[in-house]
Structure 1
């Protein structure tokens, strides 16, 4: 039986069922849109990521991927002016992005491309060692789950948070990430070193 609460909301089994149904529908929408990503070529995926950046207000966005790109597939500027460098990894859905891929991108994103915000986007998942390395080096990882949200309207800037680091628990990314906003003034720059 439904009841009207003091704040005017309606509570009860039908409302809970409707909310659960909406969540399932949103999950299915993300899944359907990710199926189209799975069918894209590597270049198509890079173009798709560039289009998402433009949609979210990034400027100077260009797809620069190809032979000799040194890890940068999409570059641009965030709405706040910071330089964005993205590496796109469109692997088969069963193949995770490993620590070696993340380490190579870390070696070039800031040094070669001048990234203020280095991001790796994949249509799959990242291994635990890849997530741990990214957390230690302030790299943003957008996995399959986050990509689904990004495609369905969540702005890129919503993902530009650093995961909470606690020595007693592993660093998580994707849907298990604990967002901790980092003020722009405290974001690491190319010359900044993290304290020990």
Structure 2
């Protein structure tokens, strides 16, 4: 069966016409009352609305200025030092450690390479005035290589007791296993894989911005655990 079309029947006769007119006037009156109430509400609330508009504008301007400043800072860092993933892949272990040290120096961390036998899971160490001490474990791999959880365990175990670190980071030109990343996230061991390394070395994002490293060294995880 076909669907029945809904038809509006026109008023018939004077009584129905008058009734329809009364309903229409009532609807118009109600709409007018609602519009008047809305105008009164806006009139009473305009200082608050103006303040909201100004606040939103200020926040928007601040965000734009912050973005522009970040881009200028990234461009300045890239002008100082930029390393591509292809260049990292062509390095040996020692060159990789020196490159990470140089990137930290570029970002304002007075870093030094300490890697070698008996380094106790630290290849680069830096002491920052405001952000404390960072320990970096460098894991240079062949293209497509993965870093496992055992590296995270070693870094966690020595960052505080051996190095008095505020931040611990494992950096690779490869990738991490899923378990390694999850374990590092749970236990405060930061990780920089191939994608993050590109953001750091090629795009100019500072490491402390990339990893959101805290500047409150007195509350640092590894100093407390030491």
Q: Quick one: distance in 2 between partners of 1:99 and 1:66?
A: 21
For 1:105-160, what per-residue CA distance to the aligned partner results, in whole angstroms no more than 9, with x for missing partners? 11111111111010111001111110111011111101110111111211111123
For 1:88-115, what per-residue CA distance to the aligned partner results, in whole angstroms no more than 9, with x for missing partners? 0001122200011111111111111111
Which residue of 1 is the match for residue 143 of structure 2?
93
Flag the structure with higher helix content. 2
> Relative to 1, partners in 2 of residues 1:189 and 1:67: Cα closer, same or farther, differing over 3 Å?
closer
From 114, 118, 121, give the equivalent of 1:64.
Answer: 114
Secondary structure at the aligned position of 1:94 is classed as: coil
CA RMSD of aligned residues (A): 2.0
Whether the 8 Å contact between 1:57 and 1:79 is mirrored in structure 2 is no
Which residue of 2 is the match for residue 48 of structure 1?
99
- Where structure 2 has 5 or more consecutive residues not aligned to the other structure, the ranges are 1-82
TM-score normalized by the length of structure 1: 0.67
Which residue of 1 is the match for residue 208 of structure 2?
157
Which residue of 1 is the match for residue 134 of structure 2?
84
Whether the 8 Å contact between 1:65 and 1:74 is mirrored in structure 2 is yes
Runs of 4+ residues deviating >3 angstroms: none
Aligned length: 142
Q: Quick one: distance in 2 between partners of 1:111 and 1:160?
A: 23
> Relative to 1, partners in 2 of residues 1:95 and 1:137: Cα closer, same or farther, differing over 3 Å?
same
Whether the 8 Å contact between 2:130 and 2:215 is mirrored in structure 1 is no
User: Which gives a bigger RCO, structure 1 or 2 (Cα 8 Å, sep 6+)?
Assistant: 2
**1:191: how far off?**
1.8
Q: Quick one: distance in 1 between partners of 2:92 and 2:101?
A: 14
Secondary structure at the aligned position of 1:191 is classed as: helix
Q: Quick one: distance in 2 between partners of 1:189 and 1:97?
A: 22
Secondary structure at the aligned position of 1:190 is classed as: helix
TM-score normalized by the length of structure 2: 0.58
Whether the 8 Å contact between 2:160 and 2:225 is mirrored in structure 1 is no
